[in-house]
Structure 1
Amino acid sequence: MSLIVAAFGGGVDDIVVGDLLAMAQARASQGAVGGPVVRAYSWLQRRGQFPPDAPATLSNFMSRSGQVTPAILVDRYGVHCKAVRDLLVDYLTERQAGLDYTSLKSLAGNLVGLFWTDLERHHPGIDSLRLSQEESDGWKARLAVKTVRQRQPDGSMAEITTPRISAPSVKMNVRAFYLDIAEWALEEPEKWGVWAVPSPISERECSSKKLEKEQKSRSDQRTRERLPLLPQLVRVADRRLKETRARLDAVDSTPLGGTVEVLGEAFTLPKTSMRTDGLSGHVRDAQGNRRHLRTEEKSAFFAWATIEILRHTGIRIEELMELSHHSIIRYTLPSTGETIPLLQIAPSKTEKERLLLITPELADVLSALITRIRQPDGKIPSIPTYDMYENVWNPPMPVLYQWSVSGEHRAMAPNFVRRALNETLNDSGILRNDGSPLQFQPHDFRRMFITDAILGGLPPHIAQVIAGHDSLSTTMGYAAIYPADTIEAHRAFIARRRQVRPAEEYRAVTPEEWEEFLGHFERRKLALGSCGRAYGTDCIHEHACVRCPVLIVSPDERPRLVEIRDNLYDRIAEAEREGWLGEIAGLSVSLAAAEEKISQLDARQERKSSPVFLGIPDLGHIVARASQAEEP
C-alpha cells in the first residue's frame, strides 16, 4: 500500500479498486506474483473501504472477464464476410434469451467455429448460405474427423486423426440454424428473408442413435471395470491421508534445522521460516529433494473427502464445489419427531434442487471438512465463487471446498480436485487389464453410485430423484447393470425343461448305452456315403438309399452314382419292352433321385472351384488350382 500511496498520492483511505488493479497489472507484466496486492485488497475489502459493487476478490479477477455479448463470441473466430458475421450475431442474439450461457457459447462454437469459418477457410470469398453439393459434402467430410496432437511413448508429439463424436450435434445446430431462419423469414421477411435457403443437412444426417448406443456401451464397460476396484481406491485414499498427516505432525514437532525420520523417510528442516507461526513450509528428503508436506497433506485430504462424498452421494463435480455449510440442514419427521440430517444440493445442470440423506459415513466426511476450514472464532468464511460454466460470480457463501492463499480465502478450482484424485490413483497402482494405469474421472463416481444403488434394490424412479435426472431413461442410461431379468428367466426356463424330462435320463451312462451310441454312427456308413438320420431312429426306406433325402453322398462316389443312374436307364428300357408297368414307376422314382443327387454333387464341386469359395482348401484342391494356372 505504501507504493500505491507514493505513486498516486493521498493516504490509505484514498486507495480505490483501480489503484490495486493497476498495481496488479504492473506486477503481472514483470512476472511477479500478486500476493501482496491480493492481501492488501482483502484487508481493505474487510475494512469496508470499497463500494458494495466492488469485486469480492482480486485473485484471477483480470483473467475472468465474465459473460460477453454474442458479437464478441462471433468475433473471436474472425469471420471475413461482414454480412454473414452480422447474420450470426443477430441469430445468437435471438437465441440468447432461451439459452444458458454455456449453451450459447457451444452454439457459437458450432455455427461459427466449426461451420462457417471452416467454409471460408476452404472456399475463400464465400458469402451465401446456399451451399453447392461439393461444398456441403466437403464440409461434412471434414467435420466427421478431428486432428489432435498426442505425446508418443518416445516423448515426441504426433498428430492423430480420430472420429469427431460431436459431429451429429454440430449438424443438428446447423440444421436448426437454417430452419429457424426459414421460419423467421415468414414473420420478418425484411430481416431474414434474404438468408432463407434450403438446409444442406437432412434430418436423417442428424441421427445419433448409433453413437448414443456406442457411448452407452463404453460408459457401461467403464463403470463395470471401475466399480469392483472402488473399495481398493477408498483404502488407498485413507492410507495416504494418514501417512501425509503423520509426516506433517512429525515435522511440526521438530525444531527448525533439525532432522526427523518418519515412516522410513528422513527429512531435514530449514533453519529459518517465513511463516508467522514459526513452522516449516518445506523440507528436504534424504535425496535432497524439496518436499512441501503441507501441500501433500492438503491434496491427500481433499482427495479422500472428494472420493467419499462422490461415492456416497453421486453428485456432479460442479455441485460438489458449491457445497456450503448452509447445505447441511435438518428435517424433523412429523410422525416420530426424529431429526434427520439432509444434504441440500443447489440447482445445477437441470436447475432442480434436491435433498439427499446424510449417512453416518458421509456425516464424518462433512464434519472433517467443516473442522478443517472453521476459523478460531468458530465461523466459516463466506467467499464468492466463480461459476466456470456461466462465467459469473456467485454471492459469498461458506463453501466447504476453500483454502487460504496469501491471507485470502479462495474457493478451490475443479482442476485441483482432479489433480488430487489423480495423485491418489497413481499411488494406488490400480491397472487395467492391459497393464496401463486406470483413470477415474469425478463423473465415474456418479455412474458407480447409480449402478450400485439399483443393483442394491433401490427402485429406479427413486434413483432418478436422488440423481436429479429429468427422465427415468437418463437414469437407466447411467446404470451399467447386466440384464439380470433375462438371465434369471433363461435359467428358470432351463430348470423347468429339466423338470418335465424323465428323471431316469439324469444318470450315469451305462457301457451298453455308450456302445449303442457309438454303433449308431458306425452303422451310418453306406456304399454311397453316409446316412444323416438322427440318433435313435431306424431306416425307413429299407435300404433304398438312392431315394432317401438324408443320404449324404460322398464326392468320391460320384462315378458309382453315375453307374447306378445308367443302370436305371437300362432297367427302365427293359421294363418298357416287357410291359412291366409297376417296375417302370418305381424305377423312375429312383432315377429322378439319382439325377438330383448327381446335380447336387456337381453344384457343390462348382462352388468349391469358384473364386468366392471360403472353405478350407485341401491339398488336392490347391494342386488342381496350381495346375490350371500353369496351363498356357
Structure 2
Amino acid sequence: MVRDRHGTPIRPRVNAHTVFSWVRTFYQDLARWAADEPTRWGPWVAPCPVRDSDSDTDHSKNRARRKAAMDQRTRTLLPALPSLVKAVERQLKDAQTCLATGRETSAGAPFTTPAGETLLRRAGVSSRVYADDPATGRRRDLTVEEERAFWAWAIVEVLRHTGMRIEEALELTHHSFVAYQLPTTEIVPMLQVAPSKLDQERLLLVSPELGEVLTAVIHRVRRGQQAMPLVSAYDSLERLWSAPMPFLFQRRCGPEDRAIPRNYIYTCLNDALAASGLTGPGNEQLRYTPHDFRRIFVTDALRSGLPPHIAARICGHRTVDTTLGYAAIYPEDVINHHRSFIARRRALRPGEEYREPTAQEWQDFLAHFELRKVALGVCARDFGTPCVHEHACIRCPVLRPDPEQMPRLEEIHANLLDRLQEAKEQGWLGEVAAIEASLAAAEQKLAAMRDLAARHTTVHLGMPDLRGVVARIDSEQRNEDAKGQS
C-alpha cells in the first residue's frame, strides 16, 4: 500500500516490483561494499528479505497485466482509426481554407470559417494571420492552427502506413528515399529507416498513399526552394546534436528552420484529437500515442494475412515473438484453439512458419509487387494468393486501373463493340452474353480511370541529387584556396 507521511494507507501500490528491485539492489550493494571495505560495511551485511521467487512472480504478473492493458487499448483504438484519419483530413482542409480566407480579408473586416464561425481579421504587419473571435473574445493565430493541423495529419498518415517508431519517423531525411530495382526492370521507391532502438536499418516500401503524404511534406518544407533546408536535430536520449541534414519533419520558427521535436508532435496530435470529438466505450475522449499506431499497424497486417516473419522484418523486430506480442487480435482461448488447429494441419501446411525469412523468401515477397503489374493497371490481390478470376482482368473487381492506360482500354472497348455486333449478326447467343458482361466491366473500369485522372496527379518524391551540392562545395573551396594564396 502507498501511505502518506502519517502512515495512513492511501491506495494500493500500482507496481510493487520496482520496490522489490530497489530493496534487492540495496542488499547486493551492501555485500559488494563489504567485500571492498570489510571493517566499515561488514556489520551491516544481512540476507535479503526479498526472495528471487517474489521478484520473478511479481514481474511476470506485472508483464501479463501490462500486455492485457495494451491489447485492450489496441482493440479500442483500431476501430476508431478510420474516423481519426477523416477527422485530421477535415481539420487540415478547414484550417487551410480559414487561413486563405483570412489572408484575403482586409484588416477589421469579418469573414466566416468553414465551421460557421464569424471572425474579425486583426490588423498587423506580421507574416502570421490573426483573427478575433467575437463570441469568446479570444485572439486566434490562424497560421499556427494550420501548421499544427498539417503536422497532425502528416504524422498520423506516416505512422499508420509504415508502423515506424516516433524517433524513426522524426529522423527521416530527404536522403532516406531509395530507388529499389526489382529482379526485372521495374523500380519501386522505398524508405531507408535509420537505426534507432536495435541499431538495425531496414527498407520500407512507399505505397502511393504514403508517397502523396511525403510529397506534401517535402513541398511544404521546401517553400518553393530547390533544396531542402539543412537543420540539426537534438537527440534527447543520446544527448547529442546531429549533423545538419535535410530532415522531412522540420518547420520554420521565426528566422530559422528547426527540426520538429517529439513534444511538438504530441501537442499537434492531442489538439487534433480534442477537436475530433472521438470518444471511447466509456464516453471518454480517445487518446492516441505515436506508439499506438505501431501496434495497430502490426495488428492490421497480421489480420490481413501477412506472414508473421515478414511483419517482423518490416517492423524491425529481432524475433517473431516480439511482433506477435504487439498484435491484439483474439482472446487467449481463441489463440489456443487456433494453435491446436495449426498443429493438426502440420501435415498439409508448411512446418516453418514462425522463423526468420530467408533471402529467397524476402526476394519473393518483393517480387510479388512485380507480379501484380498488368496491362491495365495493378492487381490488388494479397501476397501469397493466386489469381482467382483466371486472369480476366477486365472483369476482375480487384484491378486497380491506371489512368495512363486509358487509350488501351478504349481500344479494347471499341473491339468489344465490334465483336458484339458480329456475334449478334451470326446468332452466337452465348458469345453475346459473355461479351456484354466484359463490355459492362470495361465501361466501369473506364469510368474509374476518368475519376482517378480527375482527382490525382503524378506523385513525385523528389529524389535528392547531390551533384550540384558537391560542385558548389568544390567551387567555394577553390575560391578560399585562391584567396589564401593571394
TM-score by length of 1: 0.48
* 1:405 and 2:253 are equivalent in the alignment: yes
Native 8 Å contact 1:146 1:163 kept in 2: no
Matches within 5 A, 1:233-244: 233-244=84-95
In structure 1, what is the Cα distance between the partners aligned to 2:132 and 2:159? 35
Structure 2 SS opposite 1:396: coil
1:365 maps onto 2:213 in alignment: yes
Matched, 1:261 2:109: no
Instruction: Please say if 1:423 is aligned against 2:271.
Output: yes
Match of 1:548 in 2: none
Percent of residue pairs bearing the same amino acid type? 41
Between 208-217 and 414-423, the greater mean CA deviation after superposition: 414-423
The answer as to 2:17 corresponding to 1:168 is: yes
Amino acid at match of 2:258: R
Contact 1:383 1:396 in 2 (8 A): yes
User: Are the counterparts in 2 of residues 418 and 441 from structure 1 also a CA contact under 8 Å?
Assistant: yes
**Contact conserved, 1:343 with 1:358, CA < 8 A, in 2?**
yes
Output the amino acid matched with 1:258. Answer: A
Helix, strand or coil at the partner of 2:287: coil
Q: Which structure 1 segments of 5+ residues have no match? A: 1-143, 148-158, 493-632
Aligned equivalents of 1:191, 1:455: Cα separation in 2? 64
Which of 271, 280, 287 is equivalent to 1:439? 287
1:321 aligns with 2:170: yes
Instruction: Select 2:67's aligned residue among 197, 213, 216.
Output: 216
Runs of 4+ in 1 over 6 A off after TM superposition: 183-186, 188-193, 488-492
Change in 2 beyond 3 A, CA 1:488/1:460:
closer
Matched, 1:390 2:249: no
- CA change 1:245–1:375 in 2 (3 A) is closer
Seen in structure 2, the aligned counterparts of structure 1 residues 261 and 315 have a Cα distance that, compared at 3 Å, is same
What root-mean-square deviation, in Å, do the aligned CA atoms of Structure 1 and Structure 2 show? Answer: 3.0
Q: Is 1:299 aligned to 2:151, yes or no?
A: no
Unaligned stretches of 5+ residues in structure 2 = 343-486
Q: Give the aligned partner of residue 348 of structure 1.
A: 196
In structure 2, do the counterparts of structure 1 residues 474 and 259 end up closer, same or farther at CA, with 3 Å as the change threshold?
same
Secondary structure of 1:283 counterpart: strand
Displacement after TM superposition at 1:192 (Å): 11
- Mapped to 2, the partners of 1:489 and 1:171 lie a distance apart of 36
Report the CA distance between 1:337 and its aligned residue. Answer: 2.6
For 1:110-155, what per-residue CA distance to the aligned partner results, in whole angstroms no more than 9, with x for missing partners? xxxxxxxxxxxxxxxxxxxxxxxxxxxxxxxxxx6488xxxxxxxx
Structure 1 stretch displaced more, 458-467 or 244-253: 458-467
Shift of the alpha carbon at 1:231?
A: 0.4
Change (3 A) 1:477 1:415: same
CA contact 1:182–1:192 (8 Å) conserved in 2: no
Local SS of the residue matching 1:164: coil
Structure-2 separation of matches of 1:146 and 1:338: 66
Distance, in Å, in 2 between the alignment partners of 1:316 and 1:191 is 51
Q: Distance in 1 between matches of 2:314 and 2:218?
A: 24
Residues 375/178 of structure 1: CA separation in 2 closer, same or farther (3 Å cut): farther
Question: Structure 1 residues 206, 453: CA separation in 2 closer, same or farther (over 3 Å shift)?
Answer: same
Contact kept, 8 Å, 1:267 with 1:284, in 2: the verdict is yes
The aligned counterpart of 2:399 is: none
Is this contact kept in 1: 2:88–2:152, CA < 8 A?
yes
Structure of larger gyration radius: 1
Asked if 2 retains the 8 angstrom alpha-carbon contact of 1:266 and 1:286, the reply is yes
Q: 1:170 to 1:381 in 2, by over 3 A?
A: farther
CA separation in 1, counterparts of 2:170 and 2:120? 36
Distance 1:480 1:146, change over 3 A: farther
Q: 1:336 corresponds to which residue?
A: 184
Q: Distance in 1 between matches of 2:227 and 2:286?
A: 40
Q: Residue 339 of structure 1: CA displacement? A: 1.4
- Closer, same or farther: CA 428–394 of 1 in aligned 2, 3 Å: same
1:531-584: CA deviations, max 9, x gaps?
xxxxxxxxxxxxxxxxxxxxxxxxxxxxxxxxxxxxxxxxxxxxxxxxxxxxxx
User: Are the equivalent residues in 1 in contact too, given 2:162–2:204 (CA < 8 A)?
Assistant: yes
User: Is 1:381 matched with 2:229?
Assistant: yes
Distance between the aligned counterparts of 1:307 and 1:238, measured in 2? 10
User: What is the letter of the counterpart of residue 164 of structure 1?
Assistant: V
Relative to 1, partners in 2 of residues 1:490 and 1:281: Cα closer, same or farther, differing over 3 Å?
same
Residue 226 (str. 1) matches residue 77 (str. 2): yes
Aligned length: 331
* TM-score normalized by the length of structure 2: 0.62
CA–CA distance in structure 1, aligned partners of residues 70 and 246 of structure 2: 35
Deviation per CA, 1:29-48: give whole Å up to 9, x if none. xxxxxxxxxxxxxxxxxxxx
Higher relative contact order (CA 8 A, sep 6+): 2
- Residues 192 and 414 of structure 1: CA distance in aligned 2, closer, same or farther (over 3 Å): farther
CA 1:397/1:178 → structure 2, altered by over 3 Å: closer, same or farther?
farther
CA contact (8 A) 1:312 1:449 kept: yes
1:360 deviation in Å? 0.9
> 2: distance between equivalents of 1:341 and 1:180?
54
Contact 1:181/1:192, CA 8 A, preserved across alignment: no
* Counterpart residue number, 2:381: none
Q: Distance in 2 between matches of 1:474 and 1:181?
A: 36
Q: CA deviation at 1:441?
A: 1.5
CA displacement, residues 598-629 of structure 1 (integer Å, 9 cap, x when unaligned): xxxxxxxxxxxxxxxxxxxxxxxxxxxxxxxx
In 1, the alpha carbon distance for the partners of 2:38 and 2:207 equals 62
Letter in 2 for 1:274: S
Query: Quick check: 1:375–1:381 contact (8 Å CA) kept in 2?
Result: no
Deviation at 1:306, TM superposition (A): 0.9
Q: 1:470 to 1:490 in 2, by over 3 A?
A: closer
Report the Cα distance in structure 1 between the residues aligned to 2:27 and 2:317, rounded to whole angstroms. Answer: 31
- C-alpha contact 1:282 1:291 (8 A) present in aligned 2: yes
